[in-house]
Amino acid sequence: MAEYNERLDEVWDSFHTVVNMNSEELREWLLTEASGETAFDASSPDLGVPSRGEEIVEVLGKRRTDVTDDDVDLMEDVTEFVRSRLVQPRREDPEWRRELMSVGHDPLRPDSVRPDEEDL
């Protein structure tokens, strides 16, 4: 039987609250973003997709019981990153939105966490 992990439960819930894109949506976004000016550079085998984004896609595809300690650390980092960016929203700034979307949070979606709705 798997051991109960209180930290995982807390981080899992927080992560899945702030990450409002599913793994397929995030994967498509990352590939779209990577298809900019430097896309498909013959010298780059990774297609320009950020490794952190790939890691988040993998975590989103996992069941809670399959999450590793490294995954928990990543989920915690992503949660803190998103919350820190949402404290001072800059909805008119496309770079702000790109930063958030690169980790799985689309701030323009109706289910986006708002600072006045949650204690960030």
First to last CA, the chain: 34
Instruction: Answer whether 65's CB lies under 8 Å from 2's CB.
Output: yes
Q: How many helices (H) and strands (E) does the chain have?
A: 5, 0
pLDDT tens figures, 10-43: 999 999 999 999 999 999 999 887 655 444 444 4
pLDDT tens figures, 72-110: 999 999 999 999 999 988 878 889 999 999 999 999 888
- The secondary structure element, H or E, covering residue 57 is helix 51-60
Residues 6 or more apart from 36 whose CB is under 8 A from it? 48
For 1-120, strand residue ranges (E) read none
